Amino acid sequence: MIHHLRTRVLPLLLRYPPSHLPASHLVPLHCLLSTTASISPKPFSAKDFLVADCGLTRAQALKASRRLSNLTSLSKPEATVAFLLGHGVPRSDIAAAVVADPSLLYASVGMVLAPRFAELSELGFSPSQIVAILSIRRTGALRGNLLFWVRIFDSYPKLLFLAKSNRELLSASLEKVIKPSLTILQECGISARDIAGLSLYSCRLFTVKPKFLVDAVARVEELGVQRCSWMFCRALAALAFKSKDVLARKIQFLHALGFSQDDLVKIAKKAALVLALSDKKIQRSVGFLMKDVGLQASYIARRPALIMYSVERRLLPRYSLLKLLRQKGLLDVELDYYSMASLAEKNFVQNFVDPYKDSVPGLVDEYASACRGKAPKGSAWL
């Protein structure tokens, strides 16, 4: 303010003394002060800052800048970056943290970053590990949750990997949610490591409310999946977040497609994830398998993985290729459909594409295009 008075207001007063101006031309001092105080701040580019100061690529900066649309000044982001660099965080790790959560740049140095760095440093976490943690969660009981999960997994990288998928791991109540849920899982013969080894989605079981988890266990058992089976853990992960009504509608939908109750029990026992698929996906797969391939519902139920394969990128290209080879008299052996469909792609190509590429010109390229969902128009075999 003093600087503005010296450079803007005083020269005006000296140049035009009040005695030389009519009263109608006099401007109140508070108006001059208001005018000088509202000088536009220096323009800045969030994208340029993210690239130059945080180490992001242009593409990363463009995406991250959308999360910083309310940014009116670089003072707080600059302070954040300076703090992190001053505490030994490599710029590459700052970049990774900002990509994960651009709002990290809004964090208060005094109220958030400094206290958290002091707290987590005492636990033995390195600066790079701390900034990675803070890009996932900055509030809540971090200390207790971190110590608990590190003991469970005996691995910081594993914890960080899972926490990126389920941030509640670092903030949910240990006593009210996490520990009771783990007890329920253990009663079902499922350990924390079992859940962590399934998928990133499955780790949500750790923070589901115990009441809902008990209900989910009951729903899986009602489908005929026993706790002692290897599929129980997968079924629970797939169905824990489906309400009883949603699951009932899914069962009715499968009945309408031609599956019996016995078929549904087989599906639940072998691939409960099918029950978590969308109706559109199930209908497309089952429709193709029954109408085009000619399979019976009972055959599909015994091999429910067929429903989970992509029709456009796997089932249809393989079916069409084998059909073409038979039409040309190049393949006269009856193959079990599931054995063919479940082959790894490399093995399928070695057995059914490469041996016939000289007999069918363009076979390799057309099959590869079909598997990408880009079969050429007018193709002879699709």
Q: What does the domain layout of the chain look like in residue ranges?
A: 45-139, 143-241, 243-308, 315-372
CB-based contacts of 12, cutoff 8 Å, min separation 6? 32
**Band of pLDDT at residue 98, cut at 50, 70 and 90:** very high
pTM for the model stands at 0.69
CB-based contacts of 356, cutoff 8 Å, min separation 6? 325, 330, 363
* Residue 161: closest CA among 141, 133, 139, 140: 133
Average confidence (pLDDT) over 97-109 = 94
User: What is the rounded CA–CA span in Å between residue 183 and residue 210?
Assistant: 9
What is the Cα 195 distance to its own chain's centre? 17
- Residues 99-120 as b/e (b if ≥16 CB within 10 A, e otherwise) read bebbebbebebeebbeebbeeb
User: Over the stretch 54-90, which tens digit does the pLDDT of each residue have?
Assistant: 999 999 999 999 988 888 889 999 999 999 999 999 9
Distances (CA, A) of 114 to 73, 96, 131, 350: 21, 20, 11, 59
User: Over the stretch 285-329, which tens digit does the pLDDT of each residue have?
Assistant: 999 999 999 999 999 999 999 999 999 999 999 999 999 999 999
Residue 21 has pLDDT above 50, yes or no: no
For residue 241, the model assigns a pLDDT of 83
Q: Which range among 30-34, 49-53, 216-220, 260-264 shows the weakest confidence by mean pLDDT?
A: 30-34
User: Over the stretch 225-237, which tens digit does the pLDDT of each residue have?
Assistant: 888 887 888 888 8
For residue 345, the model assigns a pLDDT of 95
Q: How many CA atoms lie within 13 A of 103 on its CB side?
A: 6
Residue 4 has pLDDT above 80, yes or no: no
* Residue 312: closest CA among 288, 296, 345: 288
CB-based contacts of 337, cutoff 8 Å, min separation 6? 293, 295, 299, 306
